[in-house]
Structure 1
Amino acid sequence: MSALANQTRLHLWFPNIFEFKGGIQVYSAFLLEALQTTYPKVQYDVFLKHDTRCPSNVSLLCNTNTNFHYSGSLPLALRTPGFAAQILGLGLWQRPKLVIAAHLNFTVAAYWLKQLTGVPYWTIAYGIEAWNIQRQDLQTALHHADRILSISGYTRDRLIQEQNLDPAKISLLPCTFDPSRFQISAKSTYLLEEYSLKPEQPIILTVSRLAEAKRYKGYDQILEALPQIRQAIPNVHYIIVGKGKDKPRIEQLIAQLGLQDCVTLAGFIPDEQLSDYHNLCDVFAMPSKLEGFGIVYLEALACGKPALGGDQDGAIDALCHGELGALVDPDDVDAIAQTLIQILQRTYPNPLMYQPEALRQAVIDKFGFDRFKQKLVELMQDYADIYITGSPS
């Protein structure tokens, strides 16, 4: 750690972290915070392609050792070349000790910077953007990366198989979350009243943007499973949190299945209410098949709630191969229905799922921010002497 602490400059290239909160943005913000708090004497230059400013309510990230460079004010047509000119221009001038490109699409620029200056670079692989890569320039950049951080074993294994990468080059740094934001509590009275629900009523929850590109999250399959679930649990209710252009199609599917009385499309909710929704449900269900990891599983588990995910993507990692939750074939509606019935009837063969405090502690132990920082330190230590100080280990 001391080897890093005495050095001056790291460059971090992020799509954005402030003005949009998707999975990559959340992961990037945690990565920045972990570096800042672990190596407070390092000078960080953070390049943000789509952000325009650092909001006043995130002062922890906007400290005196961190310079932010924004490209979000540029017209969209000019943003990519403008961002590339900025990261390459300042990279050539400042010669950082390490570049961390927090999106694979930025890796090509990091490759060229390394060719010109010898500056080493890491990149981060999340999910679908890292699968089935066909671009030759990106393949070249991946093979020349000094380290690839993968958020899941699933993505790591696909990269190794599809791109013939050296397994030693890819390290796991799974997603993390803030346990203080997700606590175990009783079902919120205001939500029960808002949706005319009873405290004892079994509730299934999914949190997802309602977009055509997000149908892989599996909300269609849960809707198709609901008639079967209702036969066993007549008063079950399904809540989908999220907004998007796919809503009219989902409403049509709900009507076709005759589910208007047992499905609620809650729309957009503020971040501060997400914990209340997790605590409202009896099971969090997202039988996805293209998920890179799924931070939302961790948030549900931290509220002590059973979770169901797909067995064909990064949810395998988030639910620890079934240790922390149930994994099902995301295309098998019958399996989804029967598994949700088992969970709600408390007959699913994983007793941890019915021990809220133990479930919460298990997910914190495996994926809490302290564990994230510990793993990052281990990775940085491996490279500290070589890449940060320039001396052999």
Structure 2
Amino acid sequence: MVIKKNDQINCLNIETIKNKQKSTNSQCFHVWFPNIFEFKGGIQVYSAFLLQALQSLYPHCEYDVFLKHDTRCLSNVSFLKKTRFHFAGKWHIKLRTLAFATQLFKFGLWQSPSLIISTHLNFTIIAYLLKYLKGIPYWTVAHGIEAWNLTNPTLQKALHHADRIFAVSSYTRDRLLEEQNLNPDKISLLPVTFDVNRFEITPKPKNLLERYNLAPEQLVILTVARLACSDRYKGYDQVIRALPQIRQQIPNIHYLLVGKGEDRPRIEQLVQSLNLQEHVTLAGFVPDEELVAHYNLCDVFAMPSKREGFGIVYLEALACGKPTLAGNQDGAVDALCQGELGALVDPDDMSAIAQTLIQILQGTYPNPLIYQPEVLRQKVIDQFGFEHFRQTIGNYLEEYFISI
């Protein structure tokens, strides 16, 4: 039997693939998260999707997941049954950071994982020590405010020694490059993703119209944000201050602000001072199962932020087919694809916010895409859906496995 040269190459390729599968099956990942089960914020949701992506790509690898604040597993996150979870949340908050760091360091020394992936920059200090002592590579994720204006020299050193840094937006990446003088080849974009099957287009829910005493034809502006003093940059103040100008064109406009936090009393005073009690509803905390209905209640989603790392709420609103307004100075620019998927405005220009919202609500905004809900939904799925997220992280992992 004569074996041709091309057949030899094909045989070699098959052997290479088989060997690579064997090598990846023996890999052990250490995955470090703040939490994913008992609290839902941007980093937590991102972390849960990252774990799901990793395990769907490499189901035969070993996974040790370390959680700083969680105390137990819940069914709200998908994971492989063989996943080993390590919880530090049962420690008192004053001791938790030390306990978590000790846990990371001890297990890292003992198990020598193939790769450490951390979704919070602060954890990379321990990863740097493990790399220094045992040569363990580590990746980390930079989301937003936690990655800016870093002055801790040990954390700065840990970032410089990271094998890869994922930034959720171009804005976060550019700030890291400018402020920390990092190697640009180390920083890659891995934007936020969302649950495509959960967020969908539906008619305005009758139960919410009744709950908030709204007429079906009444135009509604929605913001979903934590009402914390540290989160005022999200721009809900600006929307409230823009309402008197909007009312001149749309008298029956209503603003629905979803979220809870210690900033609520100040917001209530602001609403009262502008005599907007009949036009603003502070909905407070809304459970996850009602969030989609709230998106579908509105006619425009507005969060003119100026320090947002990315903003998953923009994707959720777009997936419900809603016209969306965001600030033009932060990661929201990436979320709205530089304005292709929505309106970008100066978050400090209250008049621009008001006029843009008037245009959107009156159907005169010069971007016809925002008035095509199904097309808008499909575009945000194509750009930020889980499959795209999974493919992106998969490409980087494939590069990593080839290199080892």
Do the two structures share a fold, i.e. TM-score over 0.5? yes
The amino acid across from 1:50 in the alignment is: H
Correspondence for 1:60: 78
2:132 to 115, 132, 143: 115
In 2: Cα distance, 1:324 partner to 1:272 partner: 25
Equivalent residue letter for 1:38: L
- Measure the CA separation in 2 of the matches of 1:51 and 1:30: 16
For each residue in 1:299-337, what CA deviation from the matched residue of structure 2 results, as whole angstroms up to 9, or x when unmatched?
Answer: 000000010011111000100110111111111100100
Q: Is the 8 A contact 1:3 1:385 kept in 2?
A: no
Partner in structure 2 of residue 150 of structure 1: 167
Q: Which residue of 2 aligns with 1:38?
A: 57
Alignment of 1:314-325 (within 5 A): 314-325=331-342
Work out whether 1:298 is the aligned partner of 2:315.
yes
Superposition RMSD on alpha carbons, in Å? 1.0
Aligned to 1:87: 104
Instruction: Write out per-residue CA displacement over residues 356-383 of structure 1, whole angstroms, 9 at most, x where no aligned residue.
Output: 0000000000000001001011111121
Structure 1: which 5+ runs fail to align?
Answer: none
Structure 2 residues not aligned, in runs of 5+: 1-19
Q: Does 1:28 align with 2:47?
A: yes
Q: 2:242 aligns with which of 225, 231, 235?
A: 225
Match 1:9 to one of 28, 39, 49: 28
What is the correspondence of 1:117-136 to structure 2 with a 5 Å cutoff?
A: 117-136=134-153
Letter in 1 for 2:215: K
Distance 1:59 1:25, change over 3 A: closer
SS state at 1:12 partner = strand
TM-score (normalised: structure 2): 0.94
Q: Does 2:212 correspond to 1:212?
A: no
Q: Deviations over 1:37-95 (max 9, x none)?
A: 1110010000000000001x24632x233100000001111111110110010000000
Q: In the TM superposition, what whole-angstrom CA distance separates every residue of 1:170-190 from its partner, at most 9, and x where no partner exists?
A: 010000000111110000000
- Larger RCO (CA within 8 A; separation ≥ 6): 1
SS at match of 1:357: helix
d(CA) in 1 for partners of 2:129 and 2:176?
A: 21
**Shift of the alpha carbon at 1:223?**
0.4
For the residue of structure 2 that corresponds to 1:10, the secondary structure is strand
* In structure 1, distance between residues paired with 2:76 and 2:309: 26
Q: Distance in 1 between matches of 2:343 and 2:292?
A: 21
Is the Cα contact below 8 Å between 2:37 and 2:77 reproduced in 1? no
Q: Distance in 1 between matches of 2:27 and 2:387?
A: 24
Provide the rounded CA distance (Å) in 2 between the counterparts of 1:140 and 1:52.
31
* Aligned AA (1:272): E
Question: When the two structures are aligned, how many residues end up with a matched partner?
Answer: 385
Q: Secondary structure at the match of 1:179?
A: coil
Q: Deviations over 1:115-160 (max 9, x none)?
A: 0000000011000111111111111111100000110011001111
TM-score by length of 1: 0.96
Letter in 2 for 1:39: Y
Match of 1:352 in 2: 369
SS state at 2:31 partner? strand
Is the counterpart of residue 279 in structure 1 residue 269 in structure 2?
A: no
SS in 2 for 1:180: coil
Q: What does residue range 159-174 of structure 1 map to in structure 2 within 5 Å?
A: 159-174=176-191
| 2:349 is equivalent to residue 328 of structure 1 | no
Cα separation, 1, equivalents of 2:214 and 2:119 = 42
Contact kept, 8 Å, 2:24 with 2:401, in 1: the verdict is no
For 2:334 and 2:399, how far apart are their aligned partners in 1? 24
Contact 1:104 1:125 (8 Å CA) reproduced: yes
The residue that corresponds to 1:78 in the other structure is 95
**Offset of residue 220 of structure 1:** 0.3
8 Å CA contact 2:36–2:77 kept in 1: the answer is no
Letter in 1 for 2:55: Q
Cα shift at 1:2:
3.3
For the residues of structure 2 that align with 1:7 and 1:229, how far apart are their CA atoms? 61
Q: Secondary structure at the match of 2:197?
A: helix
Does structure 2 conserve the Cα–Cα contact (< 8 Å) formed by 1:216 and 1:289? yes
Paired position in structure 2 for 1:47: 66
Note the 1:188-207 alignment, pairs <5 A.
Answer: 188-207=205-224
Q: Is the 8 A contact 2:346 2:352 kept in 1?
A: yes
CA–CA distance in structure 2, aligned partners of residues 117 and 65 of structure 1: 26
Find the counterpart in structure 1 of residue 284 from structure 2. Answer: 267
Cα distance in 1, alignment partners of residues 25 and 153 from structure 2? 38
Structure 1 residue 7 displacement after superposition: 2.4
Q: Distance in 2 between matches of 1:246 and 1:59?
A: 30
Distance 2:69 2:211 in 1: 36
Larger radius of gyration: 2
1:232-251 map, 5 Å: 232-251=249-268
**Match for 2:379 among 337, 356, 362?**
362
Give the counterpart letter for 2:135 in structure 1: G
Judged with a 3 Å threshold, the aligned counterparts in structure 2 of structure 1 residues 2 and 348 are, in CA distance, closer, same or farther, namely: farther
